[in-house]
Chains A and B, each alone.
Chain A
Amino acid sequence: MTEELVTFTVNGQELKAPKGSMLIKATDAADIRIPRFCYHDKLSVAASCRMCLVDVEKAPKPMPACATPVMEGMVVQTRSPRAIAAQKSVMEFLLINHPLDCPICDQGGECELQDVAMGYGGDVSQYSDIKRVVFDKDIGPLIATELTRCIQCTRCVRFGEEIAGMRELGATDRGDRLVIGTFIEKSVDSEMSGNAIDVCPVGALTAKPSRFSARAWEMMQHPGIAPHDAVGSNVFIHTIHGKVLRVVPRDNEAINEVWISDRDRFSYQGLYAEDRLAVPMVKQGHEWVESDWDNALQLAVEGLQAIVKNDSAKQLGAWTSPSATLEEQYLLQKLMRAMGSGNIDHRLRQADFSDQDAAPVMPWLGQSIENIEALDAALLVGSHVRKDQPMIAHRLRKAAIHNKAAISFINPRRFDWHFPVAHECATDMLADLAAVAKAAFELASTPVPAHLADVVNAAAVNDTHRQLASDLQQAENSSVMLGDMAHHHPQFAAIRKLADALAKQTASHLAYLSEGANSGGAWLAGAVPHRGVAGSDAIKGMTFGEMLANPCRALITLNIEPEYDALHGADALAAAKRADFVVAISSYVTDNIKSYADVILPLAMFTETSGTYVNAEGVWQGFKGASVAVGESRPGWKILRVMGNLLDLDGFDYVSSEDVKDELKQQCQDIQLNNSVECTQPVQVAKTTGLQRIGDVPLYAVDALVRRATQLQKTTDAQQNAARINARQATASGVADSDKVKVKQGEVHSYLKLIIDEAIPDNCVWVSAAVHDTLSLGPVFGTIELEKV
């Protein structure tokens, strides 16, 4: 489709733009500066601030450039006496009620109001009466409000409605009393609420955690990559005296556009947590003492060597965070394999490894992130995508709203979505998925592949399943996506095969929404036990699951807290404790780490180290250190390089993290990303009986950094310490809302508050993992018992 272009002139310069597009878009593209407050490229046009008034020939009065469509032959002046007079007057009006408290305002120095007032305003105001004052309400732990400064541009209101999909802020009252806010005392709960701070052109909304701590011009800006999900949002890290003060989005249309999630924005607080480890620590007898690096590294290496020598290299295991950098993962596996062990894994929250040989070289999105908003249909399996990968959810939302795409879910429960959802199955993920696959085969009259016959034929298909299958079948651009909860499912292999068959049958992209910032990178780097670098043959070893069943005598952990980061947290902690010698490369020191480790090496983390993350669409995004590492902590790649040297291993002579990356990249050159599953091992489905636990890893519990982000931990989203069941189930189990209940999984138990929640299906109890009160429990899927206390 070719758009009709019209020609017009602005300040004597001839421009072309699509017919009907707004003048300000064309002038922005041509670098002709027109001042504005309410206009924002990503939001609808409000035309309420009037700052962008320009002089249009033959128009009786100045026109707002943001709401004036371009027309053939139009002649526009942005700096004519009439335009300047209009801009000056508007500026004077806007400043009537503005407090001009720039010296104590966080926005000072990066304020659109200041800039535009300097460029277009007058020196003196004719207004001499009393200015209005707004009494602020507390809108939560992330955003500080000073609404006396507000100029009512309504960008934040439109952001909430149009982008975050949650209308939380509004403009109440009228005229000069109009106030932006929540009206009642209430927190703003969107998982991307922080972007309202960026769209605010004045200091009315500022970041609460960094409030009153520095001026904009004192900070240094460094590009970085967000470390929590597989989107790899581009960010700027702002530092002062080497310390991170805040994180803001960096524009990248292909990845995060101009937004970031609150998790990516505010997690940096965890860098300066009280339990951050500053110097290496070693265990002497039963005492922990601080050590210098040489001694600690020497002890670490000797401890590992002793076990390899006295027993075997097979007694050596390594657990790495899926958010560790590519370089860290590559060097850790290189070190492990050079010592003779393939026992390395990053899939700490995966329950089912049975089909790992059929897994792709790198499970990926199967498409570009941008393609998601062009989808006509998508089926997400086991995904609370809104909280798990907020930027992917944002793209899905665009598809649902602008493209009328049929976005559907097969989840263990229902969730609140911020876009129209076509269908939501919330009973048994595996059964529902099998039923949709069956419906798809029936629709196309295709025989069911033999290896899926048992599970598919047993499925009971209902109209929803048929509709889901037909949505995918009819869509030109469709996708089947496997989310976090699919990965946690005890029958992940069956889910993967069914999803693959369904995707193939309906010509959909099979997508993995993987956990952590770099699980894709972990696959490429060989941080898996069954394959080496880039999927090559290498020394094989035990999966994470096998390492829990058969604990190794020596263990290296990289940036994890097993009790939080593993699916079987309690088992993982127990396995770590059973090891004779543990080297914990960790940014934090906790009692639990002290209980199993022998040497703790302080790790420089997010913003402190250089490295690379591979995001879900397979883009390698490198970054440099932006802030000074806390204490004596060192980048992981350097720690591992020196350990390699001390172990006398070949090929550990890197000068920079770039060298490490280049060596790995060389080996990844021929990789074609392909999610297709070539495995015809028959799928067996285990029947579950009795009350079942279902659960997720809440968004602010996914890794050690965000668990220590104090303000994020105060949000509504972080309060996940309860057990949830529906009213019918509560009656059947003899418990009631707000009861304290004993939750039992096999041998282990915990005491939780009960909440009645109709989004939970019958026979299920929703209990999130990785939060303090549920740590002692078993995995998120499994049989569970409830007892009133």
Chain B
Amino acid sequence: MTDTNTILSAHTREEIDEWITRYPAEQKKSALLAALRAAQHQNNGYLTTELMDAVADYLALTKIEVYEVASFYSMYELNPVARHNVAVCTNVCCMLMGSDTIVDHLEKKLDIKLGESTADGRIYLKVEEECLAACAGGPMMQVNHKYYTDLTPEKVDEIIDALE
């Protein structure tokens, strides 16, 4: 059995505990999304099998239940990624507003494809699955936890170059 106390950091466990209190005691499972988010955060933005197993043990779930959730949602990364998570919305509204140009520009600028990380470990271009709900400001992208709207290639350069 994995030792959850060493795999999940104190901070992660604290955060999960806080989420558990928001749900009925017999429904710890409800805290799974938040628990995985915390675990991912602790590990440079991606989940490992070891971390998912630790979350399963912590919430008394079967391991496969955790794998199902972690692999279903696009906000969980199951492979190592670079430190800045850049996600361009390519859903209908943004596409109409020219998100393809933004994606092309980024791919050329960084010399990687969507779903890849730069060799220096700086930028990860995420494949965005869903509408990011900022249609009024399309085309738009999310960099780490922040939204940038009304993008142009120049604006993108500025944002990306400012990332360390």
Contacts and interface: CB of A to CB of B under 8 A. Distances in A.
Interface of A: 166-174, 182-184
A496 B58 CA distance: 42
Nearest to B67: A183
B121 to A, nearest CB: 26
Contacts of B154: none
Given A167-B62, A184-B49, A174 B72 contact: yes
B49 A170 contact: no
B65 interface: yes
B interface majority secondary structure:
helix
B62 A173 contact: no
Contacts of A174: 71-72
A173 B71 CA distance: 5
Contacts of B63: 184
Rank and list the top 6 A-B pairs by shortest CB-CB distance, nearest first.
A170-B64, A183-B67, A172-B71, A167-B62, A170-B68, A173-B71
B67 A184 contact: yes
Contact of A182 (B64, B65, B71): B64
A171 B68 contact: yes
Nearest to A168: B64
Contact of B72 (A167, A169, A172, A182): A172
Interface hub of B49, B62, B65 (most chain A Cβ within 10 A): B62
Contacts of B65: 167, 170
A interface majority secondary structure:
loop
A170 B72 contact: no
Contacts of B72: 172-174
Nearest to A182: B64
Nearest to A185: B49
Given A167-B64, A172-B68, 14 more contacts: A167-B62, A167-B65, A168-B62, A168-B64, A170-B64, A170-B65, A170-B67, A172-B64, A172-B67, A174-B72, A182-B64, A183-B64, A184-B49, A184-B67
Nearest to B73: A174
Nearest to A758: B1
A172 B67 CA distance: 7
Nearest to A172: B71
A183 B64 CA distance: 7
Nearest to A161: B62
Contacts of A172: 64, 67-68, 71-72
Contacts of B71: 172-174, 183
Interface in B53-107: 62-65, 67-68, 71-72
Nearest to B71: A172
B63 to A, nearest CB: 8
26 contacts: A166-B62, A167-B62, A167-B64, A167-B65, A168-B62, A168-B64, A169-B64, A170-B64, A170-B65, A170-B67, A170-B68, A171-B68, A172-B67, A172-B68, A172-B72, A173-B72, A174-B71, A174-B72, A182-B64, A183-B64, A183-B67, A183-B68, A183-B71, A184-B49, A184-B63, A184-B67
Contacts of A169: 64
A542 B68 CA distance: 60
A184 B64 CA distance: 9
B27 to A, nearest CB: 16
Nearest to B64: A170
